[in-house]
Amino acid sequence: MTAVGTVPVAAEAAKPATMAQALRRAMRDAMAEDPSVHVLGEDVGTLGGVFRITDGLAAEFGDERCTDTPLAEAGILGAAVGMAMYGLRPVVEMQFDAFAYPSFEQLISHVAKMRNRTRGAMPLPITVRVPYGGGIGGVEHHSDSSEAYYMATPGLHVVTPATVDDAYGLLRAAIASDDPVIFLEPKRLYWSKAQWSQDAPTEVEPIGRAVVRRPGRSATLITYGPSVPVCLEAAEAAQEEGWDLEVVDLRSLVPFDDETVAASVRRTGRAVVVHESAGFGGPGGEIAARVTERCFHHLEAPVLRVAGFDIPYPPPMLERHHLPGVDRVLDAVARLQWETES
């Protein structure tokens, strides 16, 4: 598993209350500790980003450390490649999921491959922050879940936090990583405080570890990012039906924590993968295959997937029909071939 080492957390850090604040704090602390960390993107300076995640960074560090770029995603990421070649640690903001697509040429042809092409001589420590996913009533092109494209590209780390603590810790780890990291921010959790734990993190874990968010014995819900709160809610509701569900938050899609996931499924014998991006060709297929390969003899039922429909992200007035909610998760759990039934 790729480790990026342990990063100490600024001791005086006031505890951020929302994911948005935690992300901002992570960039701020990283910039304060390491002058090679630069933030760049559209509207990240004076405005502080359209989600205000970079608010105050330009004021504190100047506009050469937090730079409003021209409106050109390929240019932003391509420039970040050059900056990283010359020893900087660029943190790039893509304004929305679907507006990152112009940068895919740079991402796939260069960002993901540079270390490999140069036999390790030219690593690219770039963090690409992408607000992603739906549920905020955005018009088209503002709600894509693009993680499958990133996952399908060897050479990229793909990370997505679901809690305030992880937003801070994972972003610190991403910026400290010597490899490119696609940092997917579930935008509908930006202002949620619900997942906030009471103890401030004292150190940042390396990228690549999943965590059990809720222990349980009947089945495992394997999920990440915006679907984590949905699964936790489903697990609460499932108790009434007599199911004791374990919830595994992947946190990192690449590298994938086979151990934590397989250990959980071996304990429970049943698994449902939950995510909101399209199911066909989506992350769930890969995850289900891995689980099956490792846990076949422990499985009491096929690994099921609950995903968004295989459609372009719908208009906001219909998105609630598309997004996997608690009921759809529970329906899948019900289909897990329980001996007590039928």
Partner 1 sequence: MKKSSTSVQELPAAAAYRPTPPPAWRPRTDPAPLLPDPEPYRVLGTDAAAGAEPALLLRLYTELVRGRRYNTQATALTKQGRLAVYPSSTGQEACEVAAALVLRAEDWLFPSYRDTLAAVARGLDPVQALTLLRGDWHTGYDPYEHRVAPLSTPLATQLPHAVGLAHAARLKGDDVVALALVGDGGTSEGDFHEALNFAAVWRAPVVFLVQNNGFAISVPLAKQSAAPSLAHKAVGYGMPGRLVDGNDAVAVHTVLGEAMARARRGEGPTLVEAVTYRVDSHTNADDATRYRDAEEVETWRAHDPIRLLEHELTRRGLLDEAGIAEAAEAAERMAARLRDRMNAEPALDPADLFAHVYAERTPQLREQEALLRAELDASAGEGAGEAR
Ligand X SMILES: Cc1ncc(C[n+]2csc(CCOP(=O)(O)OP(=O)(O)O)c2C)c(N)n1
In the window 231-290, what residues touch partner 1 (CB under 8 A)? Answer: 280
Among 54, 67, 69, 95, binds ligand X (CB under 6 A): 95
Binding partner 1 by CB under 8 A: which of 101, 104, 196, 338?
101
245 is written with which tokens? 């569900």
Q: Would you say 155 and 113 are in contact if contact means Cβ atoms under 8 Å apart?
A: yes
Which two structure tokens, joined as six digits, stand for 103? 């940068």
Q: Which does 311 bind (CB under 5 to 8 A by kind): partner 1, ligand X, none?
A: partner 1
Cα distances from 141 to residues 69, 77, 132, 161, 327, in angstroms, run 21, 19, 10, 22, 27
309 contact choice in ligand X, partner 1, none (CB below 5 to 8 Å, kind-dependent): partner 1
The reply to whether 334 sits near partner 1 by the rule CB under 8 A is no
Q: Does 144 bind partner 1 (CB under 8 A)?
A: no
- How far apart are alpha carbons 29 and 72 in whole angstroms? 27
Q: Choose, from 38, 110, 142, 157, the residue flagged as catalytic.
A: 142
- Which residue, chain included where needed, has tokens 């810790």? 169
Q: Which helix (H) or strand (E) holds 161?
A: none
Tokens of 10: 């600024």
Residue identified by tokens 């459609």 is: 311
Least distance in angstroms from the C-beta of 330 to ligand X: 37
Could you tell me which of 150, 158, 155 has the C-alpha nearest to residue 112? 155
Q: What is the size of the binding site for partner 1 (CB under 8 A)?
A: 38
| Tally of CB atoms within 10 A around 5 | 10
Interacting positions 43-82 with ligand X (CB under 6 A): 71
> Which of the residues 288 through 327 are near partner 1 (CB under 8 A)?
309-312, 314-318, 321-322, 327
What is the longest distance spanned by two Cα atoms in the chain? 66
Is 142 an active-site residue?
Answer: yes
Per-residue burial over 179-215, b if 16 or more Cβ lie within 10 Å, else e, is bbbbbbbbbbbbebeebeeeeebeebbbbbebbbbbe
* Pairing outcome for strands 7-8 and 304-308: unpaired
Does residue 155 touch partner 1 according to CB under 8 A?
Answer: no
Among 15, 18, 74, 99, binds ligand X (CB under 6 A): 99
- Residue linked to tokens 């992880």: 166
Contact 97, 131 (CB under 8 A): yes
Q: Which of residues 15-74 bind partner 1 (CB under 8 A)?
A: 42-43, 45-48, 50, 68, 70-74
Which residue in 25, 89, 110, 142 binds partner 1 (CB under 8 A)?
Answer: 142
- Which among 5-13, 99-107, 150-158, 175-183 is the span making contact with partner 1, rule CB under 8 A? 99-107
- Residue of the chain from 22, 39, 42, 91 that contacts ligand X (CB under 6 A): 42
CB 327 to partner 1: min, Å: 7
Using the minimum distance from each CB to partner 1, give the nearer residue, 101 or 196.
Answer: 101
Q: Which residues are catalytic?
A: 142
**Which positions touch partner 1 (CB under 8 A)?**
42-43, 45-48, 50, 68, 70-75, 98-99, 101-102, 137-142, 280, 309-312, 314-318, 321-322, 327-328
